[in-house]
Structure 1
Amino acid sequence: MNTLLRSLCLPWLLVPAFAAAEVPAVAVDIPPVHSLVDRVMGELGSPDLVIQPGASPHGYAMRPSEAEALAHADAVFWVSDALTPWLAGARESLADEALKVALMETAGTRQLAYRQGAALEIHAHDDHDHGHSHSHEGMDPHGWLDPVNAQAWLEAIAESLADLDPANADVYRRNASKGQAELETLVDELNDRLADARDARFIVFHDAYQYFETRFDVQALGAISLGDASDPSPARIRAIQDHVAELGVQCVFREPQFSPALVKSVFEGTGVETSLVIDPLGVDLPLNADLYPQLLRQLADGVVRCASEA
């Protein structure tokens, strides 16, 4: 009797494991992209993160477990090779058969050119909706900080996963649609929160926030480092110091993954508030679907706190 029961139950016991195996294995580059993919996958699964929280995406040495995640991926989502140039070779060698999606290249993504100079002048401005391939020399790759871009990316992620996993296509698309509606509400929330902080006068550690600034009509007055987080030259530091008094800077935002010593040395004795911390990656946030909206709320909170320093 026990043998008969086991033989009858065994096929049913195997169904969940088989169904789980049908869900694509997914690898992503940074925590905000992980959050968006996690939102789309929902209860079906979660992606593997290649660049761990707290690390700079501009330069990174993968661990064996992260290389293994790439090697086993059915799909790889990343922002842009402009953000992670080191990832291109690993991606091609380890995930050569995976579906690969550079999110900054997907339809509906707003692209902005890198800004230049300590005062963040914009050169060769390139602001457009993108639906075709061409050279993007000088493109600022921090596009995830515009939630309207994230809405487009949710759709691109859902459609990519739907192609790989037609059985769950409706789930991916439904989750993406819910995520887009949540981001629509978030945009209204942050616009309300920032309404009285538009005149905040701040400098950022590195020029990573242009998309957030443009979407919410706030403006960094300068950046200590360029958008690739490279070390600033002495001339750039002097230019930043000159701007402090000239522009009435209220505060400078530090980033948790970089030493505060540089910020302190640049602004010591100026009276500028240097204790505020913002982060384009959500370093201190739990790695889940809520990370992305919480990251944008943190940025808005930082600007509001800076405005209160007036």
Structure 2
Amino acid sequence: MESIIMLHNKKSLLSLLIPLIFTPFITSGASAAVVTSIKPLGFIASAIADGVTPVEVLLPDGASEHDYALRPSDIKRLKNADLLVWVGPEMEAFLTKSAATIPAQKNIEISQLPGVKSQLISGGEDDDEEAGHATHENSEHQDGSHAHHEHGQYNMHLWLSPDIARQSAVAIHGKLLELMPQSRDKLDANLQQFEAGLTKTDHDINAALTPVKSKGYFVFHDAYSYFEKHYGLSPLGHFTVNPEIQPGAQRLHQIRTELVEHKAVCVFAEPQFRPAVIDAVARGTSVRKGTLDPLGMNISLTKDSYVKFLSQLSSQYASCLNGA
């Protein structure tokens, strides 16, 4: 009789445990989520969605938005997403096909926001012929992955503009309000906090970069125009337009000449792109080498991650330009 009672108790316990074991998996698969193409957009979305809904990033750390290819798991996440946030087909060509299947009320294309269009910076004016020749010369020898990223009329590294980041936050706030009106108070508070934090950080960065605004430097690829313009920095140029393609000999000769003639203080590489050409060009000169991270690879998604990202980038500029 005692063993029967014990067996009954075990069955009762098991019946209680089974829902607890499996429910989280069911819930997480069906949970609302904002999906962003790249991490910096995830930073902005996390600030607005904090305490309301999860935020996920498609592009893994160390991968490049220039040649990424969607995995089956990525496509599934896109289908289940409540909101997709991306720059646009000129930046994330890998998303164009999937984004076209997502309804407008669940899709934010940053480059198409009304207030953003007037702030777009041309991406082609200073792209030298050598870079263009290198692209065509290498295209026959590549596996086709570079075709995923098209460099059109405008520079599309829009997340590096504090002004565009603010407009992106407002757009994300608006879409989430439509999708989750019951969370209005929290969403409103999040937007207010994001804007206040951005204003303070912007002021602090401006003060920190003022002493180095006149110092010349080269960046590895043409990604920083919005940040540089906003803070009045003095870039002398970039090694390449597409970081997947090494600059040609003529371009490297021009850069080395300019490093000497213009007395450039720094040349900047990037965490995922550490080309030997930077070492070669800087060799024998007094120019310092630094690293700029345009994607915030070491920053996790939190409500404060975008301002941390901007602060980190400004520190990377300042430390090299100041010689620290």
What TM-score does the superposition give when structure 2 sets the normalisation length?
0.78
State the identity as a percent: 28
Change in Cα spacing, 1:216 to 1:119, as seen in structure 2 (3 Å) is: farther
Q: Which residue, 81, 97, 108 being the options, matches 2:115?
A: 108
2:125 is aligned with 1:117: no
Larger Cα-atom Rg = 2
| Aligned partner letter, 1:74 | D
Look up the match of 2:200.
Answer: 185
Q: How far apart in 2 are the matches of 1:152 and 1:309?
A: 34
Look up the match of 2:81.
Answer: 73
Provide the secondary structure at the position in 2 that maps to 1:51: coil
Look up the match of 2:154.
Answer: 139
Q: List alignment gaps of at least 5 residues for structure 1.
A: 1-16, 121-135
Higher helix share: 2
Pick which of 196-205 and 29-38 moved more. Answer: 196-205
CA RMSD, 1 decimal:
2.9
Look up the match of 2:297.
Answer: 283
| Mapping for residues 119-268 of structure 1, pairs under 5 Å | 137-226=152-241, 230-268=245-283
How big is the shift at 1:96? Answer: 5.8
Look up the match of 1:55.
Answer: 63
Q: How far apart in 2 are the matches of 1:164 and 1:112?
A: 32
How big is the shift at 1:197? Answer: 1.2
Provide the secondary structure at the position in 1 that maps to 2:121: strand
Q: How far apart in 2 are the matches of 1:210 and 1:229?
A: 19
Q: How far apart in 1 are the matches of 2:254 and 2:57?
A: 38
Provide the secondary structure at the position in 1 that maps to 2:226: helix
Change in Cα spacing, 1:194 to 1:261, as seen in structure 2 (3 Å) is: same
| Aligned partner letter, 2:185 | D
2:46 is aligned with 1:32: no
Change in Cα spacing, 1:119 to 1:107, as seen in structure 2 (3 Å) is: farther
How big is the shift at 1:224? Answer: 0.8
Q: How far apart in 2 are the matches of 1:304 and 1:97?
A: 41
How big is the shift at 1:306? Answer: 2.5
Change in Cα spacing, 1:96 to 1:108, as seen in structure 2 (3 Å) is: closer
| Mapping for residues 87-106 of structure 1, pairs under 5 Å | 87-93=95-101, 95=102, 99-106=106-113
| Aligned partner letter, 2:247 | P
2:315 is aligned with 1:308: no
Q: List alignment gaps of at least 5 residues for structure 2.
A: 1-24, 132-150
How big is the shift at 1:268? Answer: 2.0
| Aligned partner letter, 1:100 | N
How big is the shift at 1:243? Answer: 0.9
Tell me, yes or no, if the aligned pair for 1:27 and 1:49 is still in contact at 8 Å: yes
What TM-score does the superposition give when structure 1 sets the normalisation length?
0.81
Change in Cα spacing, 1:23 to 1:167, as seen in structure 2 (3 Å) is: farther
How far does the alpha carbon of each residue in 1:57-94 deviate from its partner, in whole angstroms, 9 at most, with x for none?
A: 1110223322221121121110121111121013335x
Change in Cα spacing, 1:175 to 1:217, as seen in structure 2 (3 Å) is: same
